[in-house]
Chain A
Amino acid sequence: MNYGQLLVGSEVPDFRLPTVSGESTRLSDFRGKRVALFMWASW
Chain B
Amino acid sequence: MAVDAQGTDKVQPYLTLAGATFVTLIDQSNLLSSIFRFKAVPNGLLIDEQGILNYQKYGGFEIRKPEFRDIVYTWAEGASSDWLANRTQEDVMGGPDHQQAIQHFQIGTNHYKEGKTKEALEEWKKGRDLEPDNWVIRKQIWAVQNPEKFYGNDVDSDWQREQIEKGA
B-side residues, CB < 8 A to A, are: 1-4, 6, 8, 10-15, 23-27, 31-32, 34-38, 41-56, 61, 63, 72, 75-76, 81, 85
Contact = CB atoms under 8 A, between A and B. Distances in A.
Contacts of B13: 42
Interface of A, helix, strand, loop or mixed by DSSP: loop
Given A11-B52, A34-B47, A40-B2, A6 B75 contact: no
Interface string A5-43: 111111111110111101001011011111111111111
Contacts of B54: 8
Given A11-B51, A20-B8, A39-B41, 20 more contacts: A6-B56, A8-B53, A8-B56, A12-B45, A12-B51, A14-B51, A17-B25, A19-B25, A25-B23, A27-B47, A34-B75, A35-B46, A36-B72, A36-B75, A37-B46, A38-B1, A38-B43, A38-B44, A42-B6, A42-B14
Contacts of A40: 1-3, 41-43
Interface of B, helix, strand, loop or mixed by DSSP: mixed
Residue from A10, A19, A25, A36 whose CB has the most chain B CB atoms within 10 Å = A36
18 contacts: A3-B34, A3-B35, A6-B56, A7-B53, A8-B85, A25-B25, A30-B47, A31-B51, A34-B48, A36-B46, A36-B76, A37-B45, A38-B42, A38-B44, A40-B43, A41-B41, A42-B4, A42-B11
Q: Which 8 A-B pairs have the closest CB atoms?
A: A17-B25, A39-B43, A37-B45, A35-B47, A42-B10, A40-B42, A39-B41, A20-B24
A12 B26 contact: no
A19 B10 CA distance: 14
A4 B4 CA distance: 22
A26 B47 CA distance: 13
